[in-house]
Amino acid sequence: MKPRPFRIWLQSRTIRISVAGLILVLLTGATWQYYGAIQSMYTKAQLVIAVLERVHEDYVDEKNPDDLVENAISGVISSLDPHSTFMTAEDFDTWNQNFEGYSGIGIYFDIIQDKITIMSVISGGPSDAAGLHAGDRIVGISGVSAIGLKRDDVPLKLMGPRGTKVKISVERRGWTTIRDFLITRDEVHIKSVPYAFQLQNSTGYIRINRFSATTGKEFEEALKDLETRGMSQLILDLRQNGGGYLDAAVDIVDNLLPGGKRIVYTEGRVKNAFREYFSTERATHPLIPVIVLIDRTSASASEIVAGALQDWDRALIVGESSFGKGLVQSQYRFQDGSALLMTTARYHTPSGRVIQRAYDGKSLVDYYTEIDNDSLRNASDKDKSRPIYQTGLLKRPVLGGGGIQPDVFLKAKSDTLTEILRDLIFSPKRLFFTFSEAYVRKHPELKKDFHLFLQDYYADTPTLQLFLSYIRQQGFKISNSDFNKNQQQIAFLLKQNIAAEIWDDEARYKTQMLRDNQLLEAIGYFPESDKLLARAYPSASRSVNK
């Protein structure tokens, strides 16, 4: 069967360019000076359509017209910058969930032994309200067996419009029968501030994973809570944070800076790309010493926060030089639900530094992989040709030319996981998780004070041998030699999983922090942060931990 003519298909997809529409935009939104450029672009667009039509109708192999158009769009986008992108409707919805949330039942899950296993429950979500726990197995959805359901099909069954209901059948260790829960779907916001707690010596710790629609509110609530507990100094952890919404970054800085100070500004090719954002007195919290932790993957909104606090001498920036992503993406939605995220401006820190690092002449692969090349990063950090700027109050020199260079360099510990250990951790059977479930049931004496557990517990030789026997019974192949070589790492991972099983994910994270040498070393720089604050803001409150 001969396929429909490409132009007819194109018209049915409402992608056809309208000359009248272009002229209307020209007359109402711009000036006549762009008419020639628009007319030339339309002529070229017609050529592209003609080429696509010939390929679709006459090429030796039949090609999907959707793929042809999307590949043509990809060709256009690839000639821009590394961060402009085109998303299909499905891709955009998935991406948007990370920042806006979604309507569902509020769980993180995995498929273990063909069953939907709840790995954690989102606090305040529908499943949390219903009393579901990590470790519960969902074996039925809406009266139909969910055993053997593929991972990608689970969200299609559990997500849905807000206010609708879904019945799930749950089995839990210790229950003699399967129980049904009727859960009302609701908006679920993935927390962007997953951890906020007190460390030793009145040191507050807040980690931000992403900058989403709720980040500003979450951060302010965390600050207030820590302040009521007597926090006198703060670590703001932005490591591995790839960014997100600009407004969220502005909100974070606004909480930490006195009013009237420029936080960030944007400039682009067109006049309306210029924007300025200033701090207000409304949100400012008491000025205490702050250390901001960044690494080579801290990007975009993370760099806006770090750059603003550094430029106003408000925080000591510690860690590694950041990624260097300072391009403003404007969002354009189309009729079919797809979206274009296109760069329209560049971010500048208050002192004028351009956050974006150079990308011209680099392949996309080189652009993204060079951040892991230590020699290239060291050369960039020491490059004497980079422009030098000054901070706003103390006139300290800070480097421009891309990314935020820390005040104190602390290299992150390299990933030392062996291949066999990596296979063990990421086994589809989630062997650490399932072993810890059974182990905790047999050892109720472990359910004591968490701080004692954190300080004293270590997986001893009998426990390690029990784990070795268990993973072999589950079909995981590992030699005695390989197990012994990785024994210390395995013991620590068991401690993390046992902590999560007894308490929660925050307990796992606090256990992990025992090996976070970069964080532990950063805490030692609070005297420098305190001195910086005293010089820049003489009337600020002083830290009690000198």
Whether pTM > 0.85 for this model: the answer is no
**Which of 232, 251, 313, 325 is an active site residue?**
325
The answer to whether the CB of 329 falls within 8 A of the CB of 344 is: yes
Taking only the tens place, the pLDDT of each residue in 105-134 is 988 888 888 899 998 888 778 998 888 988
Query: Could you confirm whether 300 is annotated as catalytic?
Result: yes
Residue by residue, DSSP assigns 467-512 as: HHHHHHHTT----HHHHHHTHHHHHHHHHHHHHHHHS-HHHHHHHH
Question: Per-residue pLDDT for 430 more than 60?
Answer: yes
Helix (H), strand (E) counts: the chain: 21, 21
Taking only the tens place, the pLDDT of each residue in 317-373 is 999 999 999 988 888 888 888 888 888 889 999 999 999 998 887 777 888 888 777
Sequence ranges of the chain with CATH classification 2.30.42.10:
102-188
CATH for the stretch 195-412? 3.90.226.10
Question: Per-residue pLDDT for 16 more than 70?
Answer: no
Name the residue among 357, 250, 267 with its Cα closest to residue 309: 250
**Looking at residue 282, what DSSP letter applies?**
S
Q: Which CATH superfamily is domain 102-188 in?
A: PDZ domain (2.30.42.10)
Query: Could you confirm whether 152 is annotated as catalytic?
Result: no
**Which of 300, 321, 351, 380 is an active site residue?**
300
Query: 311 to each of 45, 257, 293, 407, how far by Cα in Å?
Result: 45, 11, 15, 11
Sequence ranges of the chain with CATH classification 3.90.226.10:
195-412
Query: Could you confirm whether 325 is annotated as catalytic?
Result: yes
Taking only the tens place, the pLDDT of each residue in 219-274 is 999 999 999 999 999 999 999 999 988 999 999 999 999 999 999 999 988 888 89
Query: Residue 11 — very low, low, confident or very high, per pLDDT cuts 50/70/90?
Result: low
**Which of 254, 311, 313, 530 is an active site residue?**
311
